[in-house]
Structure 1
Amino acid sequence: MTRTEKLIESQQFAIKVLEEKAVKTKSRIGKVEIESHLEQLRSTLVSLVNFNANQETKP
C-alpha cells in the first residue's frame, strides 16, 4: 500500500467518524462546524484520489 493510499484510507475513516458525530450532535452550531470540517476532508479526499489516479497512470 502506497503512502497516498494510506492517506486516502485515513481521510475516509476521519469522514466516517465525523459523520457519526454529526448524527449524535444535538447542537446546531456543532453540526455546522462538523459539516465545515467534513467539506474540507471530502475536498482533500478528492484531491488525494485524483493524485493517486495520476500516479498510477504515469509510466
Structure 2
Amino acid sequence: MTRGLRELLDRSPRERAELGLRGRALVERSYTWGRQAEKLAGVYRWLAGGGSRPEAIEAAA
C-alpha cells in the first residue's frame, strides 16, 4: 500500500488528474444505481432459470 501511494504521489499533477478522470468515468459507467439494478435483475433472471450465469456470480470450485 505504501509503495502504491508513493508511486501515485510521484506522478505529476497532470497524470494524477487524468487518473482521477478515468476513475470517475469508470464509476459513472459501471457503478451507478441503474447499472447495479441491471446486474441484480440479471441474477434474479438467472435464478429463475432464464439465461446464462451472470458475471456477478462466481462459480464455486
Normalization by structure 2: what TM-score?
Answer: 0.44
Q: TM-score under structure 1 normalisation?
A: 0.46
Pair member with larger Rg: 2
Greater per-residue helix proportion: 1
